[in-house]
């Protein structure tokens, strides 16, 4: 990723996070955070990774609501960042935390079973 792409990714992450937490239309009832934004080298697309504290149903509902309100988010972005063209925004669930917990559980199980033997 180029330096410019990194700066734009960081700015988009901060901006989208502010928008998600400030717009009444985007109230979810669960904790939502923007964990990462990756833009393509030509800046035409942005992958927004979201982390949601809740069960899988609420995670899917949050993702769906964000996808339905992508127009509102894109319309609000020029207040935060000046680009000729706002990138196409796509949302993805970030499962990093769940994967880390699952791996830690497996390690703990392996350690406890080796102590038994």
Domain ranges, ordered by start, for the chain: 3-116
**pLDDT at residue 35 above 90?**
yes
- Reported as a pLDDT band with limits 50, 70 and 90, residue 117 is low
Reported as half-sphere exposure (CB side, CA atoms, 13 A), residue 52 has a value of 24
Look at residue 107 and tell me whether its pLDDT is greater than 90.
no
pLDDT for position 100: 74
pLDDT attached to residue 38: 96
pLDDT at 56 over 80: yes
Banded model confidence at residue 85, pLDDT cuts 50, 70, 90: very high
- Return the structure tokens found at 103: 């791996």
> CA-to-CA distance for 37 and 48, rounded, in angstroms?
5
pLDDT confidence of residue 43: 92
Higher pLDDT, 17 or 113: 17
CATH number given to 3-116: 3.30.300.20
């Amino acid at each position: 990723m180029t330096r410019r792409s990194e700066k734009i990714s960081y700015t988009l992450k901060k901006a989208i996070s502010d928008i998600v937490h400030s717009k009444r239309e985007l109230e979810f009832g669960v904790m939502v955070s923007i964990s990462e934004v990756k833009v393509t080298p030509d800046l035409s697309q942005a992958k927004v990774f979201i982390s949601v504290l809740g069960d899988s149903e609420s995670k899917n509902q949050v993702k769906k609501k964000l996808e339905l309100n992508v127009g509102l988010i894109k319309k609000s972005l020029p207040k935060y960042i000046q680009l000729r063209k706002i990138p196409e925004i796509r949302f993805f669930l970030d499962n990093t935390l769940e994967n880390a917990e699952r791996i830690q559980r497996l390690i703990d199980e392996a350690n406890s079973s080796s102590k038994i033997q």
